Amino acid sequence: MSSGLEVSGLGCAYRGVRAVSDVSLTVGTGEIVALLGANGAGKTTSVKAIAGALRPESGRVIWNGEDVTGMPAHRVVARGITLVPEGRLVFQHLTVLENLQVGASSPRAQGDVARNLDHVFAIFPRLAERRAQNAGSLSGGEQQMLAIARGMMSAPRLMILDEPSLGLAPQLVASMFELVRRLNAEGIAVMLVEQNVHASLKLAHRAYVLEKGRIVLGGAAAEMLDNPFVKKAFLGL
C-alpha cells in the first residue's frame, strides 16, 4: 500500500471556469511540499479539490492507498487530511474555545479533544489566554493562529496550508514559518501554498510549480532555489 498523498491528472473548474487541467503531485509521509504559482495559476482550486471542498472533474486523489477522489470534505478530514484555507476563515461570533471545539468534530478527533486542546494551547499560549474571547475580536495574526490551531484539533496527518502568512505583519511571518516547521517535526506532513516563495523553498523538502492549471516543474526545494525559471518568475533574480 502506498503511503501519503498521490494526485494524478487532477482537473476541475471553479465558478464555472476550468481552473485546473492536469495536476499530478505527491506528498510523502512526514514531508513538507510547497506548491508555487502566480495568482490565478490554480493553487487554491487544486488544494480545495484535494481536500474535498471542490469536486474534481477528472483525475484521482489517493491517500494512503485509498481513493478519496470527490469525497465530501468531512470524510476527507476524518481520514486525516485538513485544509486551512486562505483568508483566516474563523467563526467570528464564536469564542476561541468554541472555534477549536468545532475543529474536533471529526470522529478521529473526538476521543482526544482534551489532550489535543492542551497541546494546541501549549503551542499557542496567546489563544489559551483569549479562549473566552470572540474570534472576531482577535488581531489578524491571532486569527491565523486560531485557523491553524482549529485545523490541528482534527488530529491531521496532512495539513494543507493555503497562504498562511498572507496579510501578516512582517515580524509575524517568521513565526508562522517556524510553526510550520514545528508541526512537521511532530510528524504532520504539510502541503504549503505560499506567496513567500524564498522562505517556502528554504523550509520545504520538495516543491512544484503550477502554471495555468498544470504542473510545469517539480523537484527538490533546494534545487528550485537555483532554478533559472523559478528565480526569474518568483524571486526577481
Segment-wise mean pLDDT, segments of 10 residues, the chain, 237 residues: 85 86 95 93 94 95 96 94 86 93 79 85 92 92 90 93 86 86 93 92 96 94 92 77
Give the CA distances from residue 46 to residues 82, 87, 235, in Å, rounded to whole numbers and listed in that order: 14, 16, 23
- How far is 218 from 79, CA to CA, in rounded Å? 26
Q: In the prediction, which pLDDT does 175 show? A: 85
> Which set of grid coordinates corresponds to residue 94?
464564536
Q: In the prediction, which pLDDT does 222 show? A: 93
- Four-residue CA torsion sign, 182, 183, 184, 185: positive
CATH 3.30.1490.20 fits domain 1-80+158-168+193-237: no
* pTM to 2 decimal places: 0.90
> Which set of grid coordinates corresponds to residue 222?
533546494
- Four-residue CA torsion sign, 232, 5, 29, 88: positive
- How far is 25 from 46, CA to CA, in rounded Å? 11
Q: In the prediction, which pLDDT does 1 show? A: 38
Q: In the prediction, which pLDDT does 33 show? A: 98
* E strand segments, the chain: 5-14, 17-27, 32-36, 58-63, 66-67, 81-84, 158-162, 189-193, 206-211, 214-220
Q: In the prediction, which pLDDT does 231 show? A: 87
